[in-house]
């Protein structure tokens, strides 16, 4: 699959591309952070079953020690601050392909998206029902960019790994998926690079000296 050959190519180029993330654990929120921060309209559906509520992290580089729920609270605030439409406690019941994207169904309604990032932890049902290819180990088959066999659908985190279940890996998966989406939208490799001046622009007086 090429970086530029996705379902959003046929979408109206004057409209902001839309990304729906299913699952708001570390993988899903990481993907959402990158896409929202870089201008894509991003929605996250989550049912708060993240394993992080059972975890305490000592192995997340750059953080000495943090409770899993505390980590999630910070992550949620972070994506909210960048404008993610986070629909907590709204389970996605189905995802299906349309002519120019995807329909996401919940009990509350139907939503359209150009890209879908699946981040449902070890639950792979939606990927299976959508028709994503699986490996012999019965995990969703993805490459390093987290692209599934369906153009415009990404799978991240615990669902793409047999047992390598770590928060840092899930966060990396989400970031990789988002960067691939951004590259697809921009039509060239996208770098989400910020510099100190950006910190002042984004956070103003809150930036530490």
Q: Does residue 157 interact with ligand FAD by CB under 6 A?
A: yes
- Alpha carbon of residue 3 to chain centroid: 17
Q: Does residue 177 interact with ligand FAD by CB under 6 A?
A: no
Q: Which is nearer to ligand FAD, 12 or 164 (CB)?
A: 164
Compute the least distance from the CB of residue 190 to ligand FAD, in Å. Answer: 22
Residue count at the site for ligand FAD (CB under 6 A)?
33
Q: Annotate the chain with DSSP letters as a single string.
A: --SS-SGGGGS-TTSPPEEEEE--SHHHHHHHHHHHHTT-EEEEEE-S--GGGG-EES-STT-S-EEHHHHHHHHHHHHHHTT-EEEET--EEEEEEETTEEEEEETTEEEEESEEEE--TT--HHHHHHT--B-TTSSB---TT-B-SSTTEEE-GGGG-SS---HHHHHHHHHHHHHHHHHHHHTS-------HHHHHHHHGGGS--
Q: Which is nearer to ligand FAD, 100 or 105 (CB)?
A: 105
- x/- mask, ligand FAD, residues 60-99, rule CB under 6 A, reads -------------------------------xx-------
Q: Does residue 166 interact with ligand FAD by CB under 6 A?
A: yes
7 C-beta neighbours (distance < 10 Å), count: 22
- x/- mask, ligand FAD, residues 115-154, rule CB under 6 A, reads ----xxx-x--x----------------------------
Compute the least distance from the CB of residue 155 to ligand FAD, in Å. Answer: 10
Q: Does residue 36 interact with ligand FAD by CB under 6 A?
A: no
Q: Does residue 32 interact with ligand FAD by CB under 6 A?
A: no
Q: Does residue 34 interact with ligand FAD by CB under 6 A?
A: no
Tell me which residue of 174, 75, 81 sits closest to 121, measured CA to CA: 174
**First and final C-alpha spacing in the chain:** 45
**Residue of 9, 38, 47, 103 that binds ligand FAD (CB under 6 A):** 47
Q: Which stretch binds ligand FAD (CB under 6 A): 2-10, 11-19, 34-42, 52-60?
A: 52-60
Supply φ then ψ for residue 100, to 5 degrees.
-130, 30
Q: Applying CB under 6 A, which residues contact ligand FAD?
A: 22-28, 45-52, 54-55, 57, 59, 91-92, 119-121, 123, 126, 157-158, 165-168, 170
């Amino acid at each position: 699959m090429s970086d530029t050959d996705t379902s959003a190519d046929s979408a109206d180029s004057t409209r902001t591309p839309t990304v729906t993330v299913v699952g708001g654990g570390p993988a899903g929120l990481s993907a959402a952070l990158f896409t929202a921060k870089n201008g894509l309209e991003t929605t996250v559906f989550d049912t708060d079953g993240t394993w992080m509520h059972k975890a305490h992290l000592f192995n997340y580089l750059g953080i000495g020690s943090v409770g899993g729920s505390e980590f999630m609270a910070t992550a949620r605030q972070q994506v909210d601050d960048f404008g993610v439409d986070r629909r907590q406690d709204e389970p996605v019941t189905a995802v299906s392909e349309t002519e120019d994207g995807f329909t996401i169904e919940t009990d509350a309604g139907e939503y359209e998206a150009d890209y879908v990032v699946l981040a449902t932890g070890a639950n792979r049902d939606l990927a299976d029902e959508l028709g994503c290819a699986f490996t012999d180990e019965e995990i969703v088959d993805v490459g390093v960019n987290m692209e599934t066999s369906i153009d415009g659908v990404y799978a991240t985190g615990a669902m793409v790994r047999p047992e390598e279940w770590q928060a840092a890996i899930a966060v990396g998966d989400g970031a990789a998926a988002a960067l691939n989406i951004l590259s697809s939208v921009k039509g060239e490799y996208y770098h989400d690079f910020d510099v100190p001046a950006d910190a002042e622009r984004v956070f103003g007086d809150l930036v530490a000296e």
